[in-house]
Amino acid sequence: MSTPPLLPRADLERLHDDVMAWFETAARDLPWRRDVSPWAVMVSEFMLQQTPVARVLPVYEAWMQRWPTPADLAAEPAGEAVRAWGRLGYPRRALRLHAAATAVVERHGGEVPSGRDDLLALPGVGDYTAGAIASFAFGDRAVVMDTNIRRVFARVVSGVEYPAAAVTAAERELATALMPGEDAHVWAAATMELGALVCTARSPQCSACPVADLCRWRASGYPAHDGPVRRGQSWEGTDRQCRGRLLAVLREAEGPVAKARLDAVWPDAVQRERALDGLVADGLVEPLDSGLFALPGDR
């Protein structure tokens, strides 16, 4: 996506004012917005990757009650993080969050760092997560580029239905140019919320949008996406589903289990063995003596 011409200054100021004014009244009351400590923001960002807010909320609240600081999490085996992750999906995120907490304790005295380089050096922290922590926890002028923000910018400013599959240099330049002089962290949260609640992927509610009259995609007559077909991820019968079934047995057992108990939850032996091998390779499952299997450190 090439960089489109920026909105005229007057329209840009309206965009800032109207989106942030809408956010003041429309923002959801989410626990990581009430508690914007760096650790709370880090936990929420790990959990929210590819996972809806409604599924994250109960797991996040239980997690923060049990492990209110990085040191609390780092003091327990990684398997406990996997167990507490429950059915959020992509459980490697739990391992990475545990590893990040351990690194925070070892390198930063238990305090999540504010510097971008220090954040990026933590396990599981990439460009987006580093920007989100810097913005939401520390109030820095950091570019935050999640799926919702990218979609809002693509439609309102670039005039296309969807952004590119991966973040481009042009998008980063645009996001930097769109950032207001003050309250950049509020702007990031507000545009993210606008994409989540109003400018949604499948059913945008343009009548409820505070900046519909500035939207170039709307003004162009809602041209359809010109690119690869966007497909949802399948689940039934996949290796991911099989892995989830196997992990569920280990989470609920709270200790090592015999191979026969894992065999009982998935009928396809070839797929089951492939999924189990993958879990072991990813560090999510440990093979023990006598044919037993356990979560990491769960002996």
Q: Provide the annotated active-site residues.
A: 45
Q: What is the 3-state secondary structure (H, E, C) of 63-76?
A: HHHHCCCHHHHHCC
Q: Collect all residues with Cβ–Cβ distance below 8 Å to 103 and sequence separation of at least 6.
A: 121, 122, 123
Q: At what angle do helices 92-108 and 38-48 cross, to 10 degrees?
A: 160
293 DSSP β-pair partners = 257, 287
The CB density around residue 28, as the number of other CB atoms within 10 Å, is: 9
